Structure 1
Amino acid sequence: MSPRLSIRAVFYKDDKILLCKHHDDRGFWYITPGGGVEHGETLEDAFHREIKEEVGLQAEMGKVLCIRDLISDRQPTPYLPEHFHQVEIFVEGINPVFAYDAHNMDPAQIGYEWVKLDDLPKLLFFPSSLVDIFQYKKFSDIYLGHKL
């Protein structure tokens, strides 16, 4: 089974980050907007489609901030399918404009919100092992390896 390729958008405004808000049996949890790249779709096409679907945004795709592997067999969790392997490319989102209604949110997604960076460690945020990197914008290493 091949790894799934995912593009994730990172938007900062003042002292906040834009996150998709989800709810399930764990309570509320948060991730950056984004998702899987479809066959024949460029990373930039997927970036634009995903932010439009999940948060109703129109924006420019900026530079790559970091890349991580997510491999469920290395750290099993009941929330990821067995043998799941996803390569996530986190990119900077530039000049966001809320131009659409979010119209194709993920199943557990209940909305989105601008979250204060100081509050990030208090939330159930994924990838949890990268909270410091996102909170303090410390994207010094492009490839971060396998991180949950």
Structure 2
Amino acid sequence: MNPRLSVRAVFYCQNHILLCKHQDDRGFWYITPGGGVEHGETLEEAFHRELMEELGIQAEMGDVLCIRDLITDRSPTPYLPDHFHQLEVFVEGIKPNFIAQASNLDPAQIGYEWVHLDKLDNILFFPKELVSVFQNRDFSTIYQGHKL
């Protein structure tokens, strides 16, 4: 199996970050907007498609902030498939413009929310290993690797 490539958008407004809100048997949980890059699709095309599907917004794609490996064989995760390997490219989202309703929500997604950065420690946020990176907006280490 090859790793899945994913693009994730990071939008900040003052001391808040824009997150997709989900609900399942764990309660509410949050992730940055984005998802898988399809075959033949550029990273930027996937960025724009995922934002329309999950949030109904158009935005500019900024610089790459960081890259993370997610490998469930090294750190079993109950809500992800066995042998799952995803390479996540987090990019800066610029000038979000809410123009439409979300067209294709992810499973368990119930909407989106601007979350205060101080609250990331108190909510079920993924990737939890990078909470301090997002809170401090410190992307000085571009490759985050696989964190246990």
Q: Which residue of 1 aligns with 2:135?
A: 135
Show the counterpart of 1:40: 40
The one-letter amino acid of 1:127's match is P
What percentage of aligned pairs have identical amino acids?
A: 74
Partners of 1:127 and 1:147 within 8 A in 2: no
| SS state at 1:61 partner | strand
Summarize deviations over 1:86-142 as a string: whole Å, max 9, x none: 000000000110011111010110100100111111110000010000011010111
Deviations 1:37-58 (A, max 9, x none): 0000000000000011101110
The amino acid that maps onto 2:62 is G
TM-score by length of 2: 0.98
Distance 1:88 1:41 in 2: 15
RMSD of the alignment, in Å?
Answer: 0.8
Q: In the alignment, is residue 82 of structure 1 matched against residue 82 of structure 2?
A: yes
- For 2:133 and 2:91, the matched residues in 1 are separated by 13
The CA distance in 2 between the partners of 1:81 and 1:64, in whole Å, is: 27
Q: Give the Å deviation of 1:147.
A: 2.8
Q: Which runs of 4+ in 1 moved over 3 A?
A: none
CA–CA distance in structure 2, aligned partners of residues 141 and 53 of structure 1: 30
Find the counterpart in structure 2 of residue 70 from structure 1. 70
Aligned pair count? 148
1:12 alignment counterpart: 12
Structure 2: which 5+ runs fail to align?
A: none
- Other structure's SS at 2:73 match: coil
State the match for 2:25 in structure 1: 25
TM-score, normalised on structure 1? 0.98
